[in-house]
Amino acid sequence: MVIFLILLNVVFFLATVISGGFSLPILLSLGAKYGPLIVSGEWQRLLLCIFLHGSLWHLFFNMYALFNLGRLAEGVYGAKKFFIIYIITGLCGSLLSLGVNYSRVGVGASGAIFGLAGALFASGLKYRNTSLNRMAMSLLPFILINLVIGFVTPVVDNGAHVGGLLSGMLMGYLVSPGESWLTWKKKVEEVLQWVMIVFIAVSVVTFFIPNVFSGRSSLDTVITFHNQMQSFINSTRAGIPPAIDRVDSIQPPDREARTLKNKLLEYLTNGGRTTGSIQEIEDDFLQWRSKMLKKYEGLIYETDS
């Protein structure tokens, strides 16, 4: 299961590289954590962000930690429990990060990795005078040093680290090491494992297939549409309307933008002889713009023209 998770991270990394690199718009388009977009309906980001990374080194260090801690955790809890702990603590890390770093973009597996460390540490405290307790104590420097680094390094999302660690400690206290003997516990673990797998699949499908998940737009598309539409409205007001094929070629990022584009096309096609006016089109544009500024709060800033 550790290798499966590493491969999943590598797949997302390759998708990032193929998409053009590690810029903010690309990471956002692939599911980076960002508060305003999550509360607007893109819940999948809470999960997808734990498989994304901001650079090769970011991926390398996280996968190195996952390989080492993951093998320990899988050996202690078994594949099913390990997988459940990883996904749940990764989500908990994203949720706390959402609360404390609402307007910051976040990516990385470190929240889930801290979750594994927290689970092993709590299990070690629970089962004293065992090898698990000695292993837990050996993890304490790793936990403390990385928390301190997170607090003194602004770029590090320590909200995800703390969220993963605390939820991991809770799960480590509740989940017993080794394979479960009771039949009902085995069934519960199997069901939870499949729930996690289905959740990942649903998150990927509903985020990346536009026909299933509508209304999502990339930051680049929003900015490009805004700039082009603003230019077209200004030139029309100045008595120099743009060519219809130029307006028709712009890419609307959502349904409201598409309606706005069609209104301008209708206005230009009929030479201004429509029930609407350029002022009404501009008012609709400013309303749409206001929504985008709120949705991408902290990433798009309103500036004086």
In tens, the pLDDT along 54-88 reads 899 999 999 999 999 999 999 999 989 999 999 99
Query: Which string of b and e fits 107-146 if b means at least 16 CB within 10 Å?
Result: bbbbbbbbbbbbbbbbbbebeeeeebbeebeebeebbeeb
| pLDDT mean over 146-163 | 83
Task: Please tell me the distance from the alpha carbon of residue 53 to that of residue 46, in angstroms, as a whole number.
Answer: 14
Q: Mean pLDDT lowest for which of 173-177, 245-249, 276-280?
A: 276-280
Q: What is the pLDDT confidence band of residue 301, given thresholds at 50, 70 and 90?
A: very low
Are 86 and 44 in a shared domain?
A: yes
Are 177 and 101 in a shared domain?
A: yes
| pLDDT value of residue 50 | 94
| pLDDT value of residue 188 | 85
Are 173 and 288 in a shared domain?
A: no
Q: For the chain, what percent of residues have pLDDT higher than 90?
A: 35
Q: Mean pLDDT lowest for which of 8-12, 216-220, 233-237, 239-243?
A: 216-220
Domain annotation covers residue 245: yes
> Helix (H, G, I), strand (E, B), or coil: what is residue 33?
strand
Q: Is there a catalytic annotation at residue 161?
A: yes
| pLDDT value of residue 47 | 95
Asked whether the predicted pLDDT for residue 243 surpasses 50, the reply is: yes
Are 195 and 259 in a shared domain?
A: no
Q: Mean pLDDT lowest for which of 80-84, 99-103, 155-159, 284-288?
A: 155-159
| pLDDT value of residue 161 | 92
Task: Please tell me the distance from the alpha carbon of residue 157 to that of residue 169, in angstroms, as a whole number.
Answer: 19
Are 281 and 173 in a shared domain?
A: no
Are 269 and 179 in a shared domain?
A: no
Domain annotation covers residue 300: no
- Which CATH number does the domain housing residue 111 bear? 1.20.1540.10
Tokens of 229: 């539409």
Are 197 and 278 in a shared domain?
A: no
Are 178 and 237 in a shared domain?
A: no
Are 229 and 201 in a shared domain?
A: no
Average pLDDT of the residues of the chain: 85
| pLDDT mean over 38-53 | 90
Q: Which of 208, 241, 262 is the last residue of a domain?
A: 208
Q: Mean pLDDT lowest for which of 45-49, 163-167, 243-247, 291-295?
A: 291-295
| pLDDT value of residue 163 | 93
Domain annotation covers residue 33: yes
> Helix (H, G, I), strand (E, B), or coil: what is residue 154?
coil
Amino acid making up residue 112: A
Asked whether the predicted pLDDT for residue 269 surpasses 90, the reply is: no
Q: What are 173-198's pLDDT values in tens digits?
A: 888 887 766 777 788 888 999 999 99
Q: Is there a catalytic annotation at residue 167?
A: no
Q: Which of 176, 208, 240 is the last residue of a domain?
A: 208
| pLDDT value of residue 299 | 63
Q: Which of 177, 208, 239 is the last residue of a domain?
A: 208
Query: Which string of b and e fits 199-213 if b means at least 16 CB within 10 Å?
Result: ebeebbeebbeeeee
Q: What is the pLDDT confidence band of residue 274, given thresholds at 50, 70 and 90?
A: low
Are 225 and 116 in a shared domain?
A: no
Are 74 and 124 in a shared domain?
A: yes
Asked whether the predicted pLDDT for residue 305 surpasses 50, the reply is: no
Domain annotation covers residue 187: yes
| pLDDT mean over 143-148 | 86
Domain annotation covers residue 303: no
Domain annotation covers residue 57: yes
| pLDDT value of residue 304 | 35
Asked whether the predicted pLDDT for residue 214 surpasses 60, the reply is: no
Domain annotation covers residue 224: yes
Question: What is Dmax (Cα atoms) for the chain?
Answer: 86
Per DSSP, 276 falls in state: S
Helix axes 158-174, 79-100, angle to 10 degrees: 140
Q: Catalytic: which of 53, 94, 97, 161?
A: 161
Q: What are 98-118's pLDDT values in tens digits?
A: 998 888 888 999 999 999 999
Q: Catalytic: which of 110, 123, 167, 203?
A: 110
| Host domain of residue 248 | 219-295
Range list of H helices, the chain = 2-19, 24-29, 35-39, 45-48, 56-77, 79-100, 110-126, 131-152, 158-174, 183-208, 219-237, 244-249, 255-269, 278-295
Domain count, the chain: 2
Are 17 and 53 in a shared domain?
A: yes
Q: What is the pLDDT confidence band of residue 275, given thresholds at 50, 70 and 90?
A: low
